[in-house]
Structure 1
Amino acid sequence: MSVPSTLASILEIVDIAADKREEAEACLSEFVALGEEAKKAARPATIKKVFPLAFGEIAAIETSANFEDLKQSPWSTNCYLSPATIVTPFTAQQVSKILLLIRFLGAKFSVRGGGHLHNPGFTSNDGGVVISMTKFTQCTLSEDKKTAHIGPGLTWLDVYKALDPMGIAVTGGRVPSVGVPGLLLGGGLSFQNSKHGFSCMGIANYEIVLADGKIVNANPKENTDLFWALKGGCANFGIVTKVEMTTVPNKVWAEARLYSPTQNGELLDALMLYHEACEKDPNATLIWQSVNQATLLVFFYCAPVENPDVFKCFYDIPFMINVLPPALTTVYGVVQGLANVLSADILLHEMRTMSSLPDLDMYKAVEACRIEQIEVLKNVEGIILTMVIQPIASNAINASNANGGNPMGLIAQNHQWFLVMADWKNAKDEELVRKSVRKILDTAEEVSKKNGTYLPFVYSNYASRDQDPLVSYGTENLQKLKDIAKKYDADSVFQNLQNGGWLVSKSGMPDMSSLKI
């Protein structure tokens, strides 16, 4: 498929229905005749008129019955922007045609999978096109059950539910409502990190639509550089329309406990012991999540072993309730159980992240700062301040490297990814909330740098809008990502027309700092 440069070529490629073609041609002819400034002003109206003519009912505009539901589907309410159209294709060929029409019009666009992002403009825009992948809902198995073919319109809960009856799982996400593509393009944390590597390392093949409309595969034999780049390189290379993931065993053990905040000191002491223990046991994963009134710990073991010794440092610490009673279960059983306790309230969200070596001083300092900031924000309606400590064993990096590696540039060492997340109700409080989140992260960085435990890595799926995760991959890997992006998108369509995201063209730019509050 060639890139359309003339009105005749775009009409031929998009293949508009005969009864709509004359009207579409007239609209596009009028647009093409305009000067650049006039095009800028006319573009939203042109999009609203042409996309329904070209794509029918899969192109929703503000007068469409489903437009508001589509507009308000992102997880965070600060991402409810006002695009001219939201298109919901269900084939890669439709995505190709949509992308080529976007390119012809010079329209800004956003791609949305599950929409589980907190940064405004990453999955929507004002006046442009949103390509929503919600209709890509396939989840099928290869004949030998060794790979699962997964659509980018699914959440991870959807995926595990579909695979559970077959007795298998994949190295997907752990939060039920997170979508497939965003997690994987950012690298991804799974329950099986130490055993199989990060989530993206479970991918055997990507089907992706490139900027020139071509539909290609990226895997260890085809487009191998693109395959490497997609495993953490974010939305720089095309639109993923299918992933094939290697299946993994589904017989596991898990438990989730809710502790009183008064236990956090003892829990943090135990966490330091766990950091050591998990280095020797690649089956173990721990999730730590402290909120205003409690701390949730999820113990997960990638084998059917009851009460594994790796978690014994926590077993004798008193807790309030079992959110998930200890049991032999499946990945779907764990994620469904977590879905029952995680908040589904419609709120604004902010995240901010850093990483370090295990550091008890830092953990206690940020916990004290979090409690202080809860008090600062006590008059903010709906406020919840969450602290997540995610231990990352060196096994996770070794397993990733053994499976072809990725762009993230991580050294195989025992460390942790730290996250502060804020949830609240009203947009008027955003500046105050973001300052508190920044204060907690600043404390983490200050103490870890003083102690020599600070690490520069920034996990993109946890990063705030003014952070720069791709630069944390290292100079060599960032340059390699830029080269690969240019190779597969020679005209920089994804860099210039894509409305937001962690783009290689913006990484390392001084204007990142201008976004800070």
Structure 2
Amino acid sequence: MAYLETYNLGVTGGRSGHVGVGGLLVSGVEANTEENADLFKALKGGGSNLGIVTRFDLRTFAVPPTGAYGGLIFASWSDLDVVINQFVSYASSIGSGNPDHEFVVDRSDAGNLAVMAMAVSTDGNENLTTFVPFNDITLTRDMRSKQPLSKIAATIADTGGSHYIPFSLSLQATPEIMKKAADIFVALTQELDATSVPVSVNFDFQPLPKNLASVKPGNNILGFDKNLPADSILSEARGTLEATDVECGGIVERMMGRAIEELRAYSASFEGHSTFLYMNYANPEQDVIGSYGAESVRLLKDTAAKYDPAGFFQRRIPGGWKVSRV
């Protein structure tokens, strides 16, 4: 990204600043809409089933020479409703080419509850109506400024060296669902505090708009045309343990698993629930590939058999979600 900034350009990377573009994409032989089109489609969501990354091509978007505008903001838990209403309004109104981006995090550090958001305008606009509601609350910290996109991303880079316990979930973009998630989050942190396990827990929320299903239909295997019936919210629940406390991971995973299932069941009781699970946020026990839908599973199996007939990546490459197990 820093290289592209010399040309006033940017590309889409991961939510966390240390996750580069390569951490999101999978490539292999020359694959595009004209050549090996089935592989081109299956690679987007196929994980480690099909090959090893060698190179990828990207579309860029313009960033002003003066930089993007944005950064982290922090609010008190008492202002959670304002943040929820603002975020749901944003997540439900994202149009094609929207220059702003936001995600929200429910945080618990040493038992202290807070809400954090990353609010960014890639076109450098400091007065976007999207973020006006933040003017109505007292922010405990506001790190927004005009700066290169790479520096904004760097403010949310994980330091590494910790043990992470993640779960993925998709939710409806409604205040009721977000408030239920907050209630479950509070109950989970209290339950974990009672065990004296030294864990930090976050619930992260970012937009998953329905219009993703119409962006080059059939150009990936994520199944948004079927598993994304309405504007939704992509969520990651993450427990973070120090490497020296990894033996406590089983306790944390069980408690988090119950909390996430409670939230999933609540979300599924309303119309418009999305079954999509995001691979980069998922727990190893979650059925990521199955969440793409039967048609995508069949395509991935057929593509894996075609380009890897010996099943090398199914049997000899450990880790990840293997389509042969679906």
TM-score w.r.t. length of structure 2:
0.88
Measure how far apart 1:479 and its partner are.
0.2
Show the counterpart of 1:312: 132
Q: Distance in 2 between matches of 1:315 and 1:400?
A: 37
Q: Residues 355 and 242 (structure 1 numbering): CA distance in 2 closer, same or farther, change over 3 Å? A: same
The whole-number CA distance in structure 2 between the counterparts of 1:243 and 1:280 is 23
Q: CA 1:306–1:398 in 2, change beyond 3 Å: closer, same or farther?
A: farther
Larger RCO: 1 or 2 (CA < 8 Å, sep 6+): 2
Partner of 1:110: none
Aligned residues: 313
Q: Which of 139, 162, 166 is the aligned partner of 2:3?
A: 162
Match 1:375 to one of 151, 174, 190 = 190
2: CA distance, partners of 1:171 / 1:381: 36
Residue 85 of structure 2: SS of its match in structure 1? helix
Please tell me the residue identity of whatever aligns with 2:214: N
Deviations 1:332-383 (A, max 9, x none): 13112334xx5x2522111101112213222222212211221222254541
- The answer to whether the aligner puts 1:346 opposite 2:152 as a matched pair is no
Q: What is residue 172 of structure 1 aligned with on the other side?
A: 13
In the superposition, relative to structure 1, how do residues 391 and 381 fare at CA in structure 2: closer, same or farther (>3 Å)? same
Is the aligned partner of 1:226 residue 2:36? no
* Mean CA deviation greater in 352-361 or 270-279: 270-279
Closer, same or farther: CA 506–430 of 1 in aligned 2, 3 Å: same
- Corresponding residue to 2:148 among 301, 321, 330: 330
Q: What is the CA distance between 1:456 and its match in structure 2?
A: 1.1
Distance 2:53 2:206 in 1: 28
- Match in the other structure for 1:415: 232
* Contact 1:456 1:472 (8 Å CA) reproduced: yes
Partners of 1:397 and 1:229 in 2: CA distance = 16
1:427: how far off?
2.0
Q: Distance in 1 between matches of 2:118 and 2:213?
A: 21
2:210 to 394, 410, 414: 394
Decide whether the 8 Å contact of 2:13 with 2:19 is kept in 1.
no
In 2: Cα distance, 1:325 partner to 1:284 partner: 13
Find the residue that maps to 1:321 and give its secondary structure: strand
Q: 2:52 aligns with which of 239, 246, 249?
A: 239
- Letter in structure 2 aligned against 1:246: R
Mapping 1:52-451, distance limit 5 Å:
160-185=1-26, 206=27, 208=28, 216-251=29-64, 252-279=68-95, 282-292=98-108, 293-322=113-142, 324-327=143-146, 329-339=147-157, 342=158, 344=159, 346-378=161-193, 379-401=195-217, 405-411=219-225, 413-425=230-242, 426-451=245-270
**Once the two structures are superposed, what CA deviation does each residue of 1:168-200 show, in whole Å capped at 9, x if it has no partner?**
222222312225444224xxxxxxxxxxxxxxx
* Superimposed CA distance per residue, residues 91-122 of structure 1 (whole angstroms, 9 cap, x where no aligned partner): xxxxxxxxxxxxxxxxxxxxxxxxxxxxxxxx
CA distance in 2, matches of 1:184, 1:392: 18
CA contact (8 A) 2:86 2:131 kept: no
Query: How many angstroms apart in 2 are the aligned matches of 1:463 and 1:305?
Result: 34
1:485 aligns with 2:304: yes
Q: In 2, distance between residues paired with 1:228 and 1:396?
A: 15
Residue 468 of structure 1: which of 283, 287, 295 is its match? 287
CA gap 1:280/1:249 in 2 versus in 1, 3 angstroms: closer
**Bigger Cα Rg:** 1
Letter in 2 for 1:218: A
5+ residue gaps, structure 2, are none
Which structure 1 residue ranges, 5 or more long, are not aligned? 1-159, 186-205, 209-215, 508-517
The alpha-carbon deviation at position 281 of structure 1 amounts to: 7.1
> Which segments of structure 1 move beyond 6 Å, counting only runs of 4 or more?
none
Give a deviation string over 1:481-512, Cα, whole Å, max 9, x none. 110110001111111112121111012xxxxx
Alignment RMSD (CA, Å): 2.1
Give the direction of change, closer, same or farther, for the CA distance of 1:315–1:232 in structure 2 (3 Å limit). farther
Question: In the aligned structure 1, how far is the partner of 2:279 from the partner of 2:303?
Answer: 19
Asked if 1:455 is matched to 2:271, the reply is no
The alpha-carbon deviation at position 473 of structure 1 amounts to 0.9
Percent identical residues: 25
Aligned partners of 2:123 and 2:160: how far apart in 1? 34
Q: Is the 8 A contact 1:358 1:453 kept in 2?
A: no
The 1:346–1:381 alpha-carbon spacing in structure 2 relative to 1, beyond 3 Å, is: farther
Distance between the aligned counterparts of 2:302 and 2:97, measured in 1? 38
Residues 345, 302 of structure 1: alpha-carbon distance in 2 compared, 3 angstrom cutoff: closer
Query: What TM-score, normalized to structure 1?
Result: 0.57
Q: How big is each residue's C-alpha offset from its partner over 1:47-90, in whole Å with a ceiling of 9 and x where there is no partner?
A: xxxxxxxxxxxxxxxxxxxxxxxxxxxxxxxxxxxxxxxxxxxx
Deviation at 1:451, TM superposition (A): 2.4
